[in-house]
Structure 1
Amino acid sequence: MACITTMQRYEIKYLLGAREKEAILQAMSPYMELDEYGRTTIRNVYFDTDSFRLIRRSLEKPAYKEKLRIRSYQPACPDDPVFVELKKKYQSVVYKRRVVLPEQEALQSFRENTPLPLQSQIADEIEYFRSYYSPLRPTAFLSYEREAFRMTDGSDFRVTFDENILCRNRDFSLGSEIYGVSLLPEGCTLMELKTPGGLPLWLTSVLTRFHIYQTSFSKYGTAYQKFLYQSVRGGSFHD
């Protein structure tokens, strides 16, 4: 099993309270529906250098930045599909390259520092990234509960709501239980708009009416700033 995906889009983020989320859901209801994933708990393992070179560079807000992670949309057994993702951002445009492999094969490649067991342009990009930043190691396990919506007319605009965003720096199994340190203020939801261009008028109207403004929020960046930097000094954190 091997599947290859490439995406290019803008990702715009907002922090919402319960009132703002409900207003947006009501505005969305004539136009959007849950996508094929619907409501899921997403698990991610992020990779970085021992000095956290990748996330430290990203937090400097350069014109170009990149990160590498393995993601699953369910508790992953050895034969379940997971996504090895190379995510790049250049001048506000997000480019995502990913391949799909069985969990056991993907993690074995990173654990043993061997090439991914498939050949493709995207796999080559991932391997170049791994070689350039070598050695990489798992540095963060990030999980969150997501509601994902798509347009009913088939157009390429999506909205996701992420809650219960948790982080830990151990137990990196994609089949493990969900636990860790919370990254969001209590009662908050992270909304992401994923679009190839502009926003629908019905959405800009509700954002304006409720004074909802764009924010800068990186899950991995927030985890590093709050907790992970401690491990550079030999510390740790727990739930």
Structure 2
Amino acid sequence: MAYQATFKRYELKYLLSKKEKEKVLEAMAAYMELDKYGRCTIRNIYLDTDNFRLIRRSLEKPVYKEKLRIRSYRRVEPQDTVFVELKKKYKSVVYKRRLVLSEKEVMESFRKETPLPLHSQIGDEIEYFREYYGHLYPAVFLSYEREAYFMKDGSDFRVTFDENILYRRENFSLGSSVYGTPLLEEGQTLMEIKTSGGIPLWMSQILTQCHIYKTSFSKYGLAYKNMIAEKIQGGIKYA
């Protein structure tokens, strides 16, 4: 069975040391709790053109940018469900369109370049995206371990912590094991605040007290920059 969903929110990113993460978790304890998945390993396949048009455009920091990826929250088999996500950002607001289909249906669609088997507004948006950019290929496999927290009062304020962020340019399978080149330094954590409104006062206070400041961080973007550096060192440069 196929499902779809739409999200609209702000996403703020912070790089934390081990001690800073502990301080933030202490402040969160009275207000937030770990979601039902606990600590999970997220796998992503980012789709792009043969000359990386999407990520190159994104790194130029335009007013509007978009990405397409296939995601799972665990190691999957062909019959298991995965997410096809069209992620757009306009004036700092993130819009995410998501379809939920079986791994087999999704991978066959992209391998054979046939439409996804779901006719809906979100499905049509994703198909328009694919037609507009032409041939899209698996560009980067990105994985990381995530802890996600939600508010006890039921509001939509969420906080995630991502660690062991790895990328590779081979074995594009959501059923594969996790390995690759790390994007973070040892002991670092990427914290993301996700909200459709403001940041609670208690969170603002702990960020101020610990001198934790917002940063610009794109997992796919940093992976691409690393790939460019690797190619230049090897005497070859991506188009």
Fold shared per TM-score above 0.5:
yes
1:100 is aligned with what amino acid? V
1:12 aligns with: 12
- Residue 123 of structure 1, CA deviation: 0.3
| Conservation of the 8 A alpha-carbon contact between 1:27 and 1:202 | yes
| Equivalent position SS for 1:79 | coil
1:103 aligns with: 103
- Residue 229 of structure 1, CA deviation: 6.7
Quick one: distance in 2 between partners of 1:201 and 1:156?
15
- Residue 174 of structure 1, CA deviation: 0.2
Matches for 1:61-100 after TM superposition, within 5 Å: 61-100=61-100
Quick one: distance in 1 between partners of 2:214 and 2:158?
16
- Residue 230 of structure 1, CA deviation: 5.2
How many residues are paired up?
236
Q: What TM-score does the superposition give when structure 1 sets the normalisation length?
A: 0.96
| Equivalent position SS for 2:20 | helix
Q: What TM-score does the superposition give when structure 2 sets the normalisation length?
A: 0.96
Alpha-carbon displacement from aligned partner over 1:201-222 (angstroms, at most 9, x marks no partner): 0000000000000000000000
Quick one: distance in 2 between partners of 1:89 and 1:229?
26
Gap runs ≥5 in structure 1: none
Matches for 1:18-33 after TM superposition, within 5 Å: 18-33=18-33
C-alpha RMSD over aligned residues: 1.5
Matches for 1:18-167 after TM superposition, within 5 Å: 18-167=18-167
Runs of 4+ off more than 3 Å? 228-236
Alpha-carbon displacement from aligned partner over 1:72-124 (angstroms, at most 9, x marks no partner): 00101001110000000000000000100000101110010000011100000
Gap runs ≥5 in structure 2: none
| Conservation of the 8 A alpha-carbon contact between 1:39 and 1:145 | yes
Cα 1:3–1:178, aligned 2, differ >3 Å: closer, same or farther? same
Q: Percent identity?
A: 67
Most deviating of 70-79 and 31-40: 31-40
- Residue 38 of structure 1, CA deviation: 2.0
| Conservation of the 8 A alpha-carbon contact between 1:7 and 1:95 | yes
| Conservation of the 8 A alpha-carbon contact between 1:4 and 1:98 | yes
